[in-house]
Amino acid sequence: MFLKNNKYSEEELIELLRRQDRKAFNYLYDNYSDAIYGIVLKVVHTEEVAQDLMQDIFVKIWKNITQYDGSKGRLFTWMLNVARNSAIDYLRIKRPEIQDIDTAVYLVEGGQKAHDDWTTPELQEIVSRLRPEQQKLIEMVYWGGYTHEETAKQLDMPLGTVKTRVRGALQDLRKIFGA
Amino acid sequence: MIDVKAYIESGVLEDYLGGNVSEQERREVECLSKIYPEIKTELDQIADTLEGLARAQAVKPPAALKDKIMAQLEFEDAPEENEQEEAEEAPVIPLNARPQGMQWRWLAAASVVGLIGVGVYFNARVDELSQKVALQTTELHQKNEWIAALNRAENQFVTLKGLDKSPSSSVRVVWNPTTQEVALNVLSLPQPATDKQYQLWALVDGKPVDLGVFDVKDDLQKMKLAAKADAFAVTLEKKGGSPTPTLTELYVMGKVG
């Protein structure tokens, strides 16, 4: 469409969202929904469920934007947490069998095969530069909702090693992104 | 004084961003990142990395999802509404208040009044919301029609550029010579005085043809039909428009083709 292509700074955007501004929400959605949807799909693996969750997530973001505190971190980080928590809550409440770690990992692995279809070439490029065990750790800890303890138990690794490797993987990623 | 380097290397910042910390650790990270800029920088960089990773694996949700979400949100298009809502809120009575003597009767009475107020308020809200839903549904249908209309191949897009009166102004006009439909989108125009309105004109063989008045807002606005047009122009007129354009109040203009 040919509506104005507004750009906001993060501060302006948050201020406008707090005033329940329609354009600001449009902007927020257009800029972040792809990334959030990608993550929700990674956690729940079903498009239908992911779409339901997206509704909850964006309504929550909208309602709770007043609680977002810019001094505690980036807007995206906050949104990511809202998204991840909603997705993980869904798994834990609606599908209690997930609480059993072995089933959970089975589902994650099954899901991984399923969501290969959604992987972008850009991601493949980035992920291909990470070692496979690093990939797995990032997936479990950041998108899969596993605690470090659960990850350690599942991968049969000492807790300290999990922590070091997660950090190492992020450091490598940071270099890849050039941050 | 803490060892900042060791703190960063402990991995607690990664845990924090992964939502993998205890309540105490969370407060600690938030507090320390305010005190030590190095910790804040590190935290932001890890956050950027995660954002980059998330963006790299972004998946476009179906377009209909946005409409579904938008329909559930209440937007503040009219700012005065908010103040009114606050004024209508029922009085809050602290739970731990210990009224003395006869005072509790007043409090009880007040809370009953408050409850009735809440009931009335909610009923009013429900009515208001159902009206909003109906309105939004109509709006959505209109928008869909719009999108279809805008996608036609024969459409002419004309950007009307600011003239001496207001050089930074600009208006986009879409004209379909086949269906004769005209729509415009205000990109930038000064907000007029309350007794004034902008008016769109088509210039046909040097003569202005009235295409209706419009307001300064972001929505696409449907104008009168135009069978022919060599150019479009906008003037500022008295509210409701004028039969002929006031040429000293010519704001933007653009040629077709």
Alpha helices in chain B (DSSP H): 4-9, 12-17, 23-35, 37-56, 63-72, 80-88, 103-150
Judge if A92 and A147 occupy the same domain: no
Amino acid at B10: S
Query: Which of B20, B61, B150 shows the shortest C-beta gap to A37?
Result: B61
Domain boundary among A81, A108, A135: A108
| Residues A38, B59: C-beta atoms closer than 8 Å | yes
Q: CATH number, domain at A176?
A: 1.10.10.10
| Structure confidence at residue B80 (pLDDT) | 42
Domain boundary among A83, A108, A133: A108
Contacts of A35 in chain B (CB under 8 A): 51, 54-55, 57-58
pLDDT in tens, A43-99: 777 888 899 999 999 999 999 998 888 877 788 888 988 888 888 788 777 655 444
In Å, how far from its chain's centre is CA B176? Answer: 28
Contacts of B80 in chain A (CB under 8 A): none
Phi, psi of B216 (to 5 degrees): -85, 100
A95 within a domain of the structure (yes/no)? yes
The whole domain housing A136 covers 119-179
> What DSSP character marks residue B76?
-
Tell whether the model's pLDDT for residue A119 goes beyond 80. no
Edge-to-edge strands of the sheet including B250-255?
B207-214, B196-204, B231-238, B250-255, B156-162, B170-175, B182-188, B221-222
| Structure confidence at residue A130 (pLDDT) | 74
A54: closest CA of chain B, how far (Å)? 8
Domain boundary among A46, A81, A108: A108
Judge if A101 and A30 occupy the same domain: yes
Q: How many residues does chain A have?
A: 179
Judge if B142 and B162 occupy the same domain: no
Q: CATH number, domain at A35?
A: 1.10.1740.10
| Structure confidence at residue A102 (pLDDT) | 46
Better pLDDT: B112 or A114: B112
Judge if A18 and A102 occupy the same domain: yes
Judge if A133 and A154 occupy the same domain: yes
pLDDT in tens, A16-53: 888 888 888 999 999 999 989 988 887 777 888 899 99
Nearest CA in chain A to B62: A51
Query: Which of A4, A55, A148 shows the shortest C-beta gap to B69?
Result: A55
The whole domain housing B180 covers 156-255
Tell whether the model's pLDDT for residue A113 goes beyond 70. no
Contacts of B33 in chain A (CB under 8 A): 72
Tell me the pLDDT of chain B (257 aa) as tens digits. Answer: 678 888 888 888 888 887 778 888 888 998 888 888 999 989 888 888 888 878 877 888 998 999 999 988 888 764 444 444 444 445 555 555 444 555 666 666 666 666 666 666 666 677 777 777 877 887 787 777 777 777 788 889 999 999 888 899 999 999 999 889 999 999 999 999 999 999 999 999 889 999 999 999 888 888 999 999 999 999 999 999 999 999 889 999 999 98
| Structure confidence at residue B116 (pLDDT) | 66
Tell whether the model's pLDDT for residue A127 goes beyond 80. no
CA distance B255 to B204: 11
A2 touches chain B (CB under 8 A): yes
A108: closest CA of chain B, how far (Å)? 16
CA-nearest of B208, B199, B247, B198 to B229 is B208
Contacts of A2 in chain B (CB under 8 A): 150, 157, 172, 174, 185
Tell whether the model's pLDDT for residue A105 goes beyond 60. no
| Residues B147, A51: C-beta atoms closer than 8 Å | no
| Structure confidence at residue B1 (pLDDT) | 64
| Structure confidence at residue B150 (pLDDT) | 76
B82 within a domain of the structure (yes/no)? no
| Structure confidence at residue B93 (pLDDT) | 53
Residue A114 near residue A173, CB atoms below 8 Å: no
Domain boundary among B17, B32, B56: B56
Task: Give the ipTM of the model, two decimals please.
Answer: 0.74
Number of domains in chain A: 2
Judge if B162 and B227 occupy the same domain: yes
Judge if B174 and B212 occupy the same domain: yes
| Residues A164, B11: C-beta atoms closer than 8 Å | yes
| Structure confidence at residue A4 (pLDDT) | 40
Number of domains in chain B: 3
CA distance B13 to A166: 11
B250 strand-pairing partners? B235
Judge if B51 and B13 occupy the same domain: yes
SS3 B207: strand
Mean pLDDT of A164-179: 76
CA distance A120 to B67: 25
| Structure confidence at residue B231 (pLDDT) | 93
CA distance B229 to B212: 14
| Structure confidence at residue A51 (pLDDT) | 93
Count of CA atoms in the C-beta half-sphere (13 A) of A91: 26
B223 within a domain of the structure (yes/no)? yes
